[in-house]
Structure 1
Amino acid sequence: MAASPDFPDGDGVALVIGGSGGIGSAICEKLAAAGTDVVLTYRSNAAAAIAVAETVRGLGRTASAYPLAIEDSAQVADTCARIIAAHGRVHTLVNASGSHIAMKFIGDIGPEEFRQVMDADTNGFFNVVQALLPHMRQAGGSFVTISTTGLLRWPAKDALSVIPKAAIDALMTGIAREEGRNRIRANTVALGLIDAGLFRKLIGIAYDDAYIEAAKRNSALKRLGTAEEVAEAVLFFASHRARYVTGQTLTLDGGYSL
């Protein structure tokens, strides 16, 4: 297929970890619409992953979906090797995965619960980085990860989301600094409350109407964000438009952290 202005090299795929979710699926669609083929992974919802792949194909790009538990380093290595063998090049890695966490104060989190989340999120992302870095050093590429504005303004009971992402953010800074010589960029999109994905699953459990309305009032723009807006930010970092941008965080929270 012809190259696009966003992906002028015209070869390879964007790999979206967690591409079957509410935010991940919007990212897959946005990347495809901008002119790149897409590979997505999912943990258990094969039907959702198949639906996303079909949408990508409807936009004129190729798509495939792989089941993947990123905390399993052997499975990550095998899956990434199969993706590279099938598609030739992974030019972009987007980490849009995240654990379905319980909202608890730090003092109420058990050691095993904390370990499981750190393993699934932080160690899992490290596994993906280790599996892809040798490949991406050959022709360059981009890492983009979804983080949280909880690192700027602490959200009560959200430690199991914020703490793993703090470690991932540090890893992204290291990648940006160490791998720039290999034409690899690494950037982060830090989210506030986005009306999609895990947020919707927690409505009525962790977030009630009063909490959501308070969050809107405390933001500068007085509303929640959308998956489409997240996907636009990810596309910028992944694309040729950000070719001289690395080690940066774009805060996408409607001004909540101000």
Structure 2
Amino acid sequence: MSQYRFPDGVAIVFGGSGGLGSGVVELMSRSGTDVAFTYHKNKEAADAVVKKVEANGQQGMTASVDLLDIAAVQSFVDSVKERFGRIHSVVFATGAFLNILPVMDAEPDVFYETLDTDVKGFYHILRAVVPELREHGGSITALTTAAIHKYISTDGLSSIPKAGVQHLCTAIAREEGHHGIRANCVAVGLIAIGLSQEIDSPPGGILDQWTKQTPLGRAGAPQELFDTVVFLASENAGYISGQSLPVDGGYSA
């Protein structure tokens, strides 16, 4: 039996086909809940994740959704509600590709696109899911970055938009808590999966800086992150809201 408790209904993971999101989807399904999730372009990867959900004895559903299209986000949430009934947990596990460069070196269009993908995309999600969560309560968990808590040079295109995501979670925790809605962030440090593995970082680069400044002296294991996200989303964390929990080996301490 899983250590994480979820009520009847379904969890939604936005960005569930990537390295981080797929691990969250799989662990949620092992915890005994159906999971619906979105992907951007990689249908093959998304279909593979659905098979893992089904292998765990749960129902899975996936769709390609442009988070900048508020009507598409609402349509997806409506279709999930129609198929599964109650939506009890929502996880935001997506974002723009990580661009490592000084903020003033970023072209305006790149900066705007990054802001849109994170802040507008997450706002569109909230507009769709919060009304559904008000009826029975539930959780919203957003993956952000530990650089919000302790900035690292050249990481602004990640941390600045994710700071907006964090404050949206704070607003929901404060303004919707009386409906039984919890909202938390997981501030992701250096994890041995996903975007961190795609960065070409020579000695002295951002990954080298990050590792040297991490007291535990290593990258986090993916499962260490997945466990934290699913815990915060679950009923086990029923009295935790409005928090940003770094999973970073002590980097931001």
- Residue 185 of structure 1: how far off its partner (Å): 0.4
How large is the Cα RMSD of the aligned pairs?
1.5
Q: Which of 88, 95, 102 is the matching residue for 1:105?
A: 102
1:217 shift after superposition? 2.7
Could you tell me how far apart the structure 2 residues matched to 1:156 and 1:5 are? 38
- Work out whether 1:168 is the aligned partner of 2:165: yes
**Alignment partners' CA distance in 1, 2:197 and 2:239:** 35
**Residues 152-185 of structure 1: CA distance to partner in whole angstroms, max 9, x if unpaired?**
2212211111111111111101100111110110
The question of 1:47 aligning with 2:44 is answered yes
Q: Does 2:115 align with 1:115?
A: no
* Matched residue, 1:208: 202
Aligned-partner residue type, residue 208 of structure 1: P
Q: Which residue of 1 aligns with 2:58?
A: 61
1:187 aligns with 2:181: no
State percent identity of aligned pairs. Answer: 37
2:239 pairs with 1:254: no
Work out the CA distance in 2 between the residues paired with 1:209 and 1:96.
Answer: 29
Paired with 1:113 and 1:248, the residues of 2 have a C-alpha distance of 29
Of 5, 8, 11 in structure 2, the residue corresponding to residue 7 of structure 1 is 5
Confirm or deny: 8 A CA contact 1:77 1:131 kept in the other structure: yes
Equivalent residue pairs, number? 252
CA contact (8 A) 1:225 1:254 kept: yes
Match of 1:132 among 129, 132, 143: 129
Residue 216 (structure 1) shift? 2.3
Residue 223 of structure 1 pairs with residue 218 of structure 2: yes
CA distance in 1, matches of 2:183, 2:244: 9
Aligned partners of 1:81, 1:62: CA distance in 2, in Å?
17
User: What amino acid is aligned across from residue 7 of structure 1 in structure 2?
Assistant: R
TM-score (normalised: structure 2): 0.95
Q: Which amino acid aligns with 1:217?
A: K
Shift of residue 213 of structure 1?
4.3
Q: 1:119 to 1:219 in 2, by over 3 A?
A: same
For each residue in 1:199-234, what CA deviation from the matched residue of structure 2 results, as whole angstroms up to 9, or x when unmatched? 1122x2xx2355444432321111001221111001
The amino acid of 2:19's aligned partner reads: G
Q: Does structure 1 residue 142 correspond to structure 2 residue 136? A: no
Q: Secondary structure at the match of 1:44?
A: coil
Q: Given residue 93 of structure 2, which amino acid in structure 1 is its aligned partner? A: A
Query: Hey, what does 1:241 align to over in structure 2?
Result: 236
Question: Any conservation in 2 of the 1:147–1:191 contact (CA below 8 Å)?
Answer: yes
Deviation at 1:5, TM superposition (A): 6.5
Please state how far the C-alpha of 1:32 moved relative to its aligned partner.
Answer: 1.0
* TM-score (normalised: structure 1): 0.93
Distance 1:8 1:45 in 2: 28
Matched, 1:31 2:28: yes
